[in-house]
Amino acid sequence: MTAQSRAFWVAAPSRGEIRRESLPPLGPGEVRVRTLYSGISRGSETLVFRGEVPPSEHQRMRAPFQAGDFPAPVKYGYISVGRVEAGPPGLTGRNVFCLHPHQDLYQVPAEAVHPLPDGVPPGRAVLAANLETAVNGLWDATPRIGDRIAVVGAGTLGCLVAWLTGRIPGCTIELIDVDPARAPVAAALGVGFARPEDASPDADLVIHASGAPAGLATALGLAGFEASVVELSWFGDRLVSLPLGAAFHQRRLSLHSSQVGSVAAAQRPRWDHRRRLGLALSLLADPALDVLVTGTDRFEDLPEVMARLAAGAPGTLCHRIVYPGAPE
């Protein structure tokens, strides 16, 4: 018998809808997952929703279980937490994370799901994809013990980067954002906070994650002599102007890109994507990270929710989508 599911699709730029889909009988080596929660990655998903993926990136931007093509119609997303309803005995009944779009019931190869470690609640596991990006970004950035580190942009990714670097002995971390309401979040994560105009200069390492060109200009201005600025934002099809005159050359600054699609070069001989995601999931045992989940809505309301987030929703960090049957 075929099972029925519901999935969120970007039907046209800036317009989403929930569509019914039929699932075929479960095949050998597959699992059927009933979704409990999914998460919205505000950077890439809102760009996809608005139809802002440049044609040159249509193939590289594809998510693992994406259906359709950019700009639309497309089923896109990669943050799904659910319970295995059917499949191999070792996985049936387990709570798992999967890089799957927003859908209430789906089937994937068993190796595509990652069982949640003990001590990681399903509702917090929606942070896994952003935390994996933060881990890879820090592998690219190579922070050192005792560094003064500036993190520009206190969105979900920037907050996770600040939290990770704050666990390195001797490091001084300043999370920088234009929104003063991010200060209590920084405090809950154990790091400092500043508005751009009040940020400390001469950082040993600057990591940019604001998604705004002005934020990258701020990052360059905060870097000390021969320091590195690591860019974690993705701007889609927007052109970005940078202040590469002034003191950029005199201070011998370096600007590096980081992207989660490839494991950082220094780790690549020993790490693959599965091991990296497993590390991110294990780090989610810290309840301090619950401060990053700032909004919750029902799956049925996702078209309106995505439109609201794509238009700009002040105060939102990780937005969690709740499915029928999820724990209260």
285-309 burial, b at 16+ Cβ within 10 Å, e below that, comes to: eeeebebbbebebebeebbebbeeb
- Return the pLDDT at 95: 98
pTM: 0.94
pLDDT of 164 over the 70 cut = yes
CB 263 within 8 A of CB 136: yes
Helix/strand/coil percent split, the chain, to 5: 30, 30, 40
Least confident of 10-24, 74-88, 305-319: 305-319
Among candidate residues 73, 184, 203, the one with its CA nearest the CA of residue 144: 203
Q: Which domains does the chain have, with CATH numbers?
A: 3-124+284-322 (3.90.180.10), 130-257 (3.40.50.720)
- What's the mean per-residue pLDDT of the chain? 96
pLDDT of 1 over the 70 cut = no
- Return the pLDDT at 134: 98
The string of pLDDT tens digits covering residues 98-141 is 999 999 999 999 999 999 999 999 999 999 999 999 999 999 99
pLDDT of 13 over the 90 cut = yes
The string of pLDDT tens digits covering residues 229-287 is 999 998 878 888 899 988 899 999 999 999 999 999 999 999 999 999 999 999 999 99
DSSP 212: S
- Return the pLDDT at 313: 80
pLDDT of 219 over the 80 cut = yes
How far apart (Å, rounded) are the C-alpha atoms in residues 192 and 68?
43
| Omega prior to 101 cis, within 30 of 0 | no
| Pair of tokens at residue 306 | 């995505």
pLDDT of 328 over the 80 cut = no
CB atoms within 10 A of CB 85: 15
Opening angle at CA 320, ends 315 and 324, nearest 5: 145
Q: Tell how far CA 277 is from the center of its chain.
A: 12
- Return the pLDDT at 44: 86
CB 320 within 8 A of CB 46: no
Secondary structure (3-state) at 206: strand
Opening angle at CA 183, ends 179 and 186, nearest 5: 120
- Return the pLDDT at 2: 77
Opening angle at CA 24, ends 327 and 73, nearest 5: 80
How far apart (Å, rounded) are the C-alpha atoms in residues 108 and 252?
48
Q: What radius of gyration do the chain's Cα atoms show? A: 20
- Return the pLDDT at 192: 98
* pLDDT band (50, 70, 90) for residue 321: very high
Among candidate residues 292, 291, 295, the one with its CA nearest the CA of residue 157: 292
The string of pLDDT tens digits covering residues 63-107 is 999 999 999 999 999 999 999 999 999 999 999 999 999 999 999
* Greatest pairwise CA separation for the chain in angstroms: 69
The string of pLDDT tens digits covering residues 174-216 is 999 999 999 999 999 999 999 999 999 999 999 999 999 999 9
- Return the pLDDT at 113: 98
- Return the pLDDT at 42: 83
| Pair of tokens at residue 153 | 């942009």
